[in-house]
Amino acid sequence: MTKKYDLLIQNILCVDENGSELTDIAVHQGLIQERRLGITTPAEQVIDGTGLTLMPGIIDSQVHFREPGLTHKEDLFSGSLSAASGGVTTFLEMPNTKPSTTTIEALNEKIEIARKNSHVDFGFFIGATIDNLEELKKAHGLPGCCGIKIFLGSSTGSLLLDDETALLKIFQETTLPISIHSEDENIMQERIGIRDVATTAHAHPDWRNVDSALTATKKIVRIARSANRKIHILHLSTGEEALWLQDHRDICTLEVTPQHLTLFAPDCYDRLGTLAQMNPPIREERHKKTLWEVLQKRGIDIVASDHAPHTMAEKELGYPKSPSGMPGVQTLLPVMLSHVADKKLSLQDFVRLTSSEPARLFKLKGKGQIKVGYDADMIILDFNQPSVVVSSEMKSKVGWTPFEGLRSPATLKGTYLRGQLVPASPGLGRPITS
């Protein structure tokens, strides 16, 4: 009997971190079986890819989907729906929920919710606290656990951790990847009066200033180096950090968000007010310029959304009562493609920053590449059909985006998870493995 594939995509331009080629892609039982022109084996579904572009599915390595405890803003169903609608086939979710994800029990609860409700594949960080070292150790090798998250500045519940002794012990005695939110709590507390008397979000980057970010980053790198332990610095916001960290790339990997590469103060606060409020803050244009210069020299490893939704009613409370964070998992793709159109980066670099490098850094098995034997996680784009970001198309519960009206050079025609078009039905997603 002639073998039959589940899916065959023919004559499509496939772009990966190494370049591009016209090819066919054959998929069976969720895996890529062949990648070459001229595949003649029949398939249950055949897609004519002529004029279209195929790339690996996006791995968004920093999202906040709010479940449990804050599900009026987002949950794993709506967040993963938004992810799939933006070309994201795997997300890694943060622990600052209510209660915080700081135990194996809490981690397993989120994994089970995601098994039932997620449209795409998923991983969860376990949060570090002053006294949960044993829980962090037990998380090693647990399917669905992607790493440890450390907040050096204030966050939910007990997740603030800036004690050097505790940090050093975590670095010495755990094995999971470690991601760092790097803002100095002492400096922010010393400057909190700036926030308390402020009436607009323009004060946000003044309160959480450059020195707060740079001081925390220097501190955590020093501790990591003393333990000979690699760390991942999240959402770089300052040019000073980006430049200083280039001398520490042996111990650090680095991430930046689309918003820090696109928005800048004071313009974003003039236009968007508290919708542009996030931690660490959007800063002056010189920081954006330096982040781009470093990224273009391959001095930054990952672009991730830091999707952190809040309702419009919460944002309309006004600064400083308004919470920090903005949605972004669905707009990572169009925002970064707009920069491709502006020739700030190539499609190959986009793939490296959002697919292949996140998969390598977080050791995600079978992810991040269009390669025989890998999961058939793919997105199909039409660069002959530009698109515009509009809030009414956002699948997040909060229903707004700071990138309203942004023009992208392509339209997303399909997101495929292991060869299946998503979003399809909840429960298709699986926990990541390493």
**Domain-located, residue 396:** no
Q: pTM, whole model, 2 decimals? A: 0.97
Average pLDDT over residues 116-136: 97
| pLDDT confidence bin for 156, thresholds 50/70/90 | low
Confidence (pLDDT) at 113? 98
Confidence (pLDDT) at 154? 73
Among the ranges given (25-29, 157-161, 202-206, 396-400), the one the predictor scored with the smallest mean pLDDT: 157-161
Confidence (pLDDT) at 3? 78
Nearest CA to 59 among 365, 277, 371?
365
**251 and 102 belong to one structural domain:** yes
**Domain-located, residue 185:** yes
**Domain-located, residue 294:** yes
> Which residues touch 165 (CB under 8 Å, ≥6 apart)?
none
**Domain-located, residue 366:** no
**Domain-located, residue 397:** no
**164 and 275 belong to one structural domain:** yes
**272 and 294 belong to one structural domain:** yes
Average pLDDT over residues 145-170: 88
Confidence (pLDDT) at 388? 98
**110 and 11 belong to one structural domain:** no
**197 and 182 belong to one structural domain:** yes
**36 and 147 belong to one structural domain:** no
Average pLDDT over residues 368-384: 98
| pLDDT confidence bin for 424, thresholds 50/70/90 | confident
For 42, the token pair is 């029949």
Cα gap 336→419, rounded to integer Å: 24
Average pLDDT of the residues of the chain: 96
**255 and 117 belong to one structural domain:** yes
Confidence (pLDDT) at 2? 62
For residue range 325-350, list pLDDT tens digits in order: 999 999 999 999 999 999 999 999 99
Confidence (pLDDT) at 389? 98
Residues serving a catalytic function are: 306
Average pLDDT over residues 129-152: 96
Confidence (pLDDT) at 1? 45
The count of domains in the chain is 2
**Domain-located, residue 123:** yes
**36 and 180 belong to one structural domain:** no
Q: What are the CA-CA distances from residue 108 to residues 80, 115, 122 (Å)?
A: 18, 10, 13
| CATH code of 344's domain | 3.20.20.140
| pLDDT of 155 over the 70 cut | no
**109 and 220 belong to one structural domain:** yes
**75 and 18 belong to one structural domain:** no
**47 and 71 belong to one structural domain:** no
- Look up the domain containing 375 and give its range: 5-54+371-389+402-422
| pLDDT of 74 over the 60 cut | yes
**115 and 209 belong to one structural domain:** yes
**Domain-located, residue 111:** yes
High-pLDDT (> 70) share of the chain, %: 99
| CATH code of 380's domain | 2.30.40.10
**Domain-located, residue 394:** no
Do 96 and 156 form a contact (C-beta atoms < 8 A)?
Answer: yes
For residue range 289-330, list pLDDT tens digits in order: 999 999 999 999 999 999 999 999 999 999 999 999 999 999
Among the ranges given (144-158, 193-207, 274-288), the one the predictor scored with the smallest mean pLDDT: 144-158
